[in-house]
Structure 1
């Protein structure tokens, strides 16, 4: 529950309807008819009454005419807060009287230790009482908001986040003063993966859905109708296709997304981008929304707005694998391509490299000066393009900058944990791995940490036929992650003859011979390019990353410590340097695998699965765990050289990028993770209050006090009587995802006013209907306290 629980404070908006952009919102959340406004939660203070309404002495046995006796004086029930009576304009949050802060439309507009509570807004939100007061009654609210024209006119007020409970202390659901950690650790059961979504599938000529580049995942439009493009929306998968095997020419740039359980195309822009060069995305112009950067088929760099329309075109220059960063930390974003450093907003050339880039590059601060560097396999450049390191090692490329570029590939990580990063280089032309490090005190400003090691290990080059690229070369872009759980990052890559993992710490130890640094290698089939990329992810959160890799025939998931195959499926591709990516593409709180395929070469024996099921795939497929056991991850993977700290989850680019290799829990490259806890879970609590404005009704305030979003569609049951033996009155459901601390009011209309003579209560997640994709960290707090159904008579 870290970062979450506000006492079910002030009843929030009456229902925020499910987003149906362009239509007026309704309230489908409960049985019966008619939209209803917010109702009071248990014990807060949305009322504008004057607090102490009777100066006379009272005690617990003294009637306060619907109020509460607080410290010997009667207090308005809506303003009672533990041992205090809040002042006019305050409300009760976690047994503390709080004054709501500035108006907000998103938590990002509040101070770091606050969040935006929409229950306090004027636009479609009814004021009401919160949870944590003395008797749990609250005031009635106004009408709920609606999504119209794609924008929800909802505002809230900033409120402090609750304090954390001391270690080992659980919050008292009847006296909430703090929140505790909320996590669910999946059981380590048999590893499974299943196909969730697919796009394309044209496995016969002209093979127009073929893909042979790395897809990206980025937020491009407003799916939840809050008027903003944020991490809460459903992200887009962006990629390029080609037809008739013409992968070196112009292709079609696509953006697709999950809509109502299927992948649908949001837009497609044909004939502009090179089909198999790579793309990047993020907010490059400083305006709301994200853009996509690609390499044009005409030898330029191209930028596209979030709707696929062109933004700018650069001058002609080499472009193969763009990156996006604020290189000089001045608050404006740069696009980096092999031909130079471009202004993100206009595409104008800001700086040329003082020496031509010899190989592909990544962006990272390798000299610990706090400024990002452009790092190739053998060179390093400052943010202004000036060269400051040239190792002259592994600087040979074949087919420079073309779709078939065979380059040495770099990645950056702190392999020995000494606080200084290493540059890991996979030299494709020589199928070797070596490591170097920036060192201002050494000749040339660098030192070689590990001399070249053969990545083929014990597998002979003859595993690839004579004349094939994999017979004499090999090695794709490296990944960095902890595969064996020793607390130090390791290095992995695909070659022509196998997939191999090296011990990162041993690579930095001169006492360990090169061949002895190998942890494992498994044979693969990639003799064509011998350059394919890969990605890694810790699916079960046990501290040991798994490998996700697709060769010419199959996508496989390998166990990190052993290399055992955990899962495999036919996935044909002629291969270049593409890799699968890992992100939460449907916003369900679990990692997904996005993998591409192509069928134009599947008539070749080397690109056939021969498994009796399928011999060719084409397009984009998304795999997930059928039981929802894979841990959480981010909803973004914005470029080939992705390393988490290079982009925020909403696509914004940090002005001062955190050093991944020094960030606790990271020190990785081409691995996705969930900042905070991968095991974060939701925790739903509920309060109930009568709604006394207009026809009598009951209003249940559902609040998520967990660390992860609570999905929409959670059942709320309303009861008369005492918990455990009450009589059902009806039920409703929540209509939107509730992020930590957020709440929604579910109203049950048409309730017989006669129940005012007794007590009522509510149960959230009533009956625990099947929901395999999410699990609460606690279920013993799903029942509200029973309160009187009587409407307050306090004036």
Structure 2
């Protein structure tokens, strides 16, 4: 959680200098060093016959060796195993004059006996916030983690995200390739970005996702392969947006690739349309540290299959196991290629309108279906053909799947309230939207988009938290959410707006070009209601799923094809990020949003007419420190992020409650590339580290990019926690959990160069994993000058610690000049912190009397 170093550290110092202490600091012993009851080993070691040993690997984890070992916290500091009296209770005869018997141990004068274990006597406390470092409050006394009833972590550690508090910041951006790149003007992004961890470091314990997208060198509004222009895949680091690899050339620049492990080596491949309609797959080659072509889609004779320039138009590929052979197939329109690139089916092809193929076992019969909106096909694994199940027309439609209730062949059995495990099909085309069942019967709609023409790829999810699925889609100058409960005589419990036209809510936008832009969903607060993520030509917005209220807005530019922003954990920090593609095509500028004019900021720039400003619950949610009627108030642009942030302090949207100016979103011009946004206060819940294709539906792929075999493929809508489409969800981390960072066992040693080396265990005492690269910084206690900073190298699960060290090159050289050193965990050396914890006040510890004398001088 961001903080200001002077205020936090001065508060901590005041506490330390008065009634608050940081607990006992032991001179811990390392492997091979002498140990006793008062000369203790590091907590992951054991004292055996007076020597510290590693009971697991005997690996050296010392300050001068491998000091970054990860340990699972156990019962505090290591139990003393003394060869002479192991298994014998201590008594007054075996304990010293100042010691107290405690089971097999003897507690020193600075320890108390707790459950037959000697525990460092801590200060009195009323709650955890009064305990510093790696301690918690137990029975009105601060004791170290690992002792007492709590164990290695706090099971009550959690965080409740407040709905609507959106203050995203730009985490990183890719706007052009680095200097010297062979494709310097390929920077426009016309299609949906993807996310996956390719495991480039060959270490499955680390989480380091990448973002994958197609870059384009044209400025046209066509299909991404025209007038000599073409697409090149870029792979960039999800944390920094640094470019990692170029992949492929002569690709269709507006087509979305797909990601999946085709060859079974545990690392996913990238599959894309080339400019002539063929399919190409690329795999990472560790030897050359590059992506190489795995295959070009071909026929049985080995001839590459192509069609013509721009033949795939606006489209994507998908990856699924269609025939139950446990190997993924690649679907392009309706054509099917096996995992070696051999085309095995082409009876459904470019003429069938399946631009974004969505496949699933819709009726749970063990076979895969695919629906165009007018025709449903079933894949025949014996013949490798798509058999027609039913057909009710022709056209080019967008689809999504979800369980809307019970809708059998006979309409007399229809029941919206009870899900039957069979999917229904959402269809969008020609300015209308409707839902059909697996028998081809329309069960909802058609409903016209309020703004008229168009209609893009739909999403499905629970927008209003009523336990029933709804769907959304963008169209010309608008985004709409459709709800079968908003029909006839609606009930406010299932249709908050009480509309009777099948629409829950509708918001204007600016889409004068394609009128068919994509969108996606995510539940940012983990409250059971999804938000809508949609980028029109000029602004990226997040909408409240129940009401359509705009919760977040940031300037954007796109000619708009069928692309959509996505949500995923792109950096392995166990929090969701928002990934937005942009381009310079068609010379887009703000004109009107569905007929609504853009107001002008005091800087002369167009402002989003829909966005009311930063939300807040209390003053600390606002940079200005002023929260009025749930909106942050400001007096200057700096309180909104300052120049270039896209936010400006200006008059509110008419009707905004409260008084004072607010932080409005303003349009600062067109830009290309990829932008990644994260919550400024680290409040968004976790998400999966993958979004692998345009028709993403969670259960279609693992986070490692493994495509499930047909026989074990869980259909999304059958999972009671899902029933969604083009929506990402919380990953393995539950909503409401939180980490708690603590420093443990802080000590120092002097190196041969007379540097002070600080050894600190960074622990996670919360319920959510801590990502790698979490720093701690050593500060001089009085001046607060930063001395050194080091970060963790692995993910720390609840209860785990990692021993780290950093060096101060110029410590005092005499006892008279010795200083105290303040250790601050989750601190990057500037006082800034990136991790929202359930307890922020226990990140500090103090190492006293630090100096390193140079012997002989």
The TM-score range, normalised by the shorter chain, is: 0.5 to 0.7
Q: Distance in 1 between matches of 2:499 and 2:75?
A: 66
What does residue 427 of structure 2 align with? Answer: 426
The alpha-carbon deviation at position 518 of structure 1 amounts to 0.9
Are 1:361 and 1:410, in contact at CA under 8 Å, matched by a contact in 2?
no
Comparing 188-197 with 766-775, greater Cα deviation is found at 766-775
Cα distance per residue 1:741-780 (max 9 Å; x no partner): 442113488999x99xxxx999763899844531222357
The alpha-carbon deviation at position 668 of structure 1 amounts to 1.1
Q: Distance in 1 between matches of 2:424 and 2:803?
A: 53
What does residue 735 of structure 2 align with? Answer: 678
What does residue 533 of structure 1 align with? Answer: 518
Question: Any stretches of 5+ residues in structure 2 without a counterpart?
Answer: 1-41, 47-51, 53-60, 108-112, 122-142, 178-183, 285-289, 299-304, 406-415, 599-604, 607-666, 849-857
Structure 1 residues 369 and 733: alpha-carbon distance in aligned structure 2, compared to 1, 3 A threshold:
same
Are 1:43 and 1:135, in contact at CA under 8 Å, matched by a contact in 2?
no
Q: Please point out which of 571, 578, 587 is paired with 2:563.
A: 578
Q: Indicate whether 1:252 and 2:231 are aligned.
A: yes
Q: Please point out which of 327, 336, 347 is paired with 2:341.
A: 347
The alpha-carbon deviation at position 476 of structure 1 amounts to 0.8
What does residue 762 of structure 2 align with? Answer: 702
Q: Indicate whether 1:314 and 2:314 are aligned.
A: no
Structure 1 residues 678 and 389: alpha-carbon distance in aligned structure 2, compared to 1, 3 A threshold:
farther
Q: Secondary structure at 2:501's aligned position in 1?
A: helix
Q: Please point out which of 145, 153, 160 is paired with 1:185.
A: 160
Q: Distance in 1 between matches of 2:787 and 2:557?
A: 53
What does residue 505 of structure 2 align with? Answer: 520
What does residue 626 of structure 1 align with? Answer: 680
Structure 1 residues 317 and 693: alpha-carbon distance in aligned structure 2, compared to 1, 3 A threshold:
same
Equivalent pairs, count = 636
Structure 1 residues 717 and 491: alpha-carbon distance in aligned structure 2, compared to 1, 3 A threshold:
same
Cα distance per residue 1:313-345 (max 9 Å; x no partner): 00226864211123345432222222433222x
Q: Distance in 2 between matches of 1:231 and 1:421?
A: 38
Q: Indicate whether 1:412 and 2:402 are aligned.
A: yes
Are 1:201 and 1:617, in contact at CA under 8 Å, matched by a contact in 2?
no
Q: Distance in 2 between matches of 1:625 and 1:654?
A: 32
The alpha-carbon deviation at position 686 of structure 1 amounts to 4.7
Q: Distance in 2 between matches of 1:279 and 1:229?
A: 24
Q: Indicate whether 1:636 and 2:630 are aligned.
A: no
The alpha-carbon deviation at position 66 of structure 1 amounts to 13
Are 2:776 and 2:824, in contact at CA under 8 Å, matched by a contact in 1?
yes
Q: Please point out which of 694, 700, 711 is paired with 1:646.
A: 700
The alpha-carbon deviation at position 681 of structure 1 amounts to 1.8
Q: Secondary structure at 2:424's aligned position in 1?
A: strand
What does residue 58 of structure 1 align with? Answer: 90
What does residue 400 of structure 1 align with? Answer: none
Are 2:368 and 2:378, in contact at CA under 8 Å, matched by a contact in 1?
no
Comparing 602-611 with 506-515, greater Cα deviation is found at 506-515
What does 1:115-134 align with in structure 2 at a 5 Å threshold?
134=118
Cα distance per residue 1:231-280 (max 9 Å; x no partner): 70132232231324264416232324248x74222222453311112210
What does 1:310-709 align with in structure 2 at a 5 Å threshold?
310-315=293-298, 316=305, 320-344=315-339, 346-353=340-347, 357-359=352-354, 360-370=356-366, 372-377=368-373, 378-382=375-379, 384=381, 385-387=384-386, 390-393=389-392, 395-397=394-396, 407-414=397-404, 416=416, 417-428=418-429, 430-438=430-438, 446-457=439-450, 459=451, 461=452, 470=453, 474-504=454-484, 516-602=501-587, 611-612=605-606, 613-655=667-709, 656-675=712-731, 676-688=733-745, 699-706=759-766, 707-709=768-770
Q: Distance in 1 between matches of 2:205 and 2:847?
A: 38
Are 2:573 and 2:771, in contact at CA under 8 Å, matched by a contact in 1?
no
Structure 1 residues 732 and 70: alpha-carbon distance in aligned structure 2, compared to 1, 3 A threshold:
farther
Q: Distance in 1 between matches of 2:70 and 2:435?
A: 63
Comparing 300-309 with 207-216, greater Cα deviation is found at 207-216
Are 1:335 and 1:342, in contact at CA under 8 Å, matched by a contact in 2?
yes
Comparing 633-642 with 373-382, greater Cα deviation is found at 373-382
The alpha-carbon deviation at position 69 of structure 1 amounts to 6.8
The alpha-carbon deviation at position 477 of structure 1 amounts to 0.8
The alpha-carbon deviation at position 49 of structure 1 amounts to 6.1
Cα distance per residue 1:558-579 (max 9 Å; x no partner): 2222222333344232222111
Structure 1 residues 487 and 256: alpha-carbon distance in aligned structure 2, compared to 1, 3 A threshold:
same
Are 1:219 and 1:231, in contact at CA under 8 Å, matched by a contact in 2?
no
What does residue 796 of structure 2 align with? Answer: 739
Structure 1 residues 212 and 38: alpha-carbon distance in aligned structure 2, compared to 1, 3 A threshold:
closer
Comparing 362-371 with 491-500, greater Cα deviation is found at 362-371
What does 1:224-263 align with in structure 2 at a 5 Å threshold?
225=201, 227-228=202-203, 232-245=207-220, 247-249=223-225, 251-258=230-237, 262-263=240-241
Question: Any stretches of 5+ residues in structure 1 without a counterpart?
Answer: 1-7, 15-26, 76-80, 85-132, 138-169, 398-406, 439-445, 462-469, 721-727, 788-795
The alpha-carbon deviation at position 351 of structure 1 amounts to 4.1
Cα distance per residue 1:396-417 (max 9 Å; x no partner): 13xxxxxxxxx34333344545
What does residue 765 of structure 1 align with? Answer: 825
The alpha-carbon deviation at position 312 of structure 1 amounts to 0.5
The alpha-carbon deviation at position 10 of structure 1 amounts to 2.0
Structure 1 residues 505 and 178: alpha-carbon distance in aligned structure 2, compared to 1, 3 A threshold:
farther
Q: Distance in 1 between matches of 2:320 and 2:169?
A: 35
Are 2:534 and 2:564, in contact at CA under 8 Å, matched by a contact in 1?
yes
Q: Distance in 2 between matches of 1:314 and 1:82?
A: 69
The alpha-carbon deviation at position 45 of structure 1 amounts to 8.6
Are 2:824 and 2:843, in contact at CA under 8 Å, matched by a contact in 1?
yes
Structure 1 residues 526 and 276: alpha-carbon distance in aligned structure 2, compared to 1, 3 A threshold:
same
What does residue 122 of structure 1 align with? Answer: none
What does residue 129 of structure 1 align with? Answer: none
Structure 1 residues 774 and 177: alpha-carbon distance in aligned structure 2, compared to 1, 3 A threshold:
closer
Q: Distance in 1 between matches of 2:840 and 2:588?
A: 55
Q: Secondary structure at 1:484's aligned position in 2?
A: coil
Q: Distance in 2 between matches of 1:659 and 1:219?
A: 23
Are 1:422 and 1:435, in contact at CA under 8 Å, matched by a contact in 2?
no
Cα distance per residue 1:601-636 (max 9 Å; x no partner): 116886999845545332222233333333222222
Q: Distance in 2 between matches of 1:518 and 1:733?
A: 53
TM-score under structure 2 length normalisation? 0.63
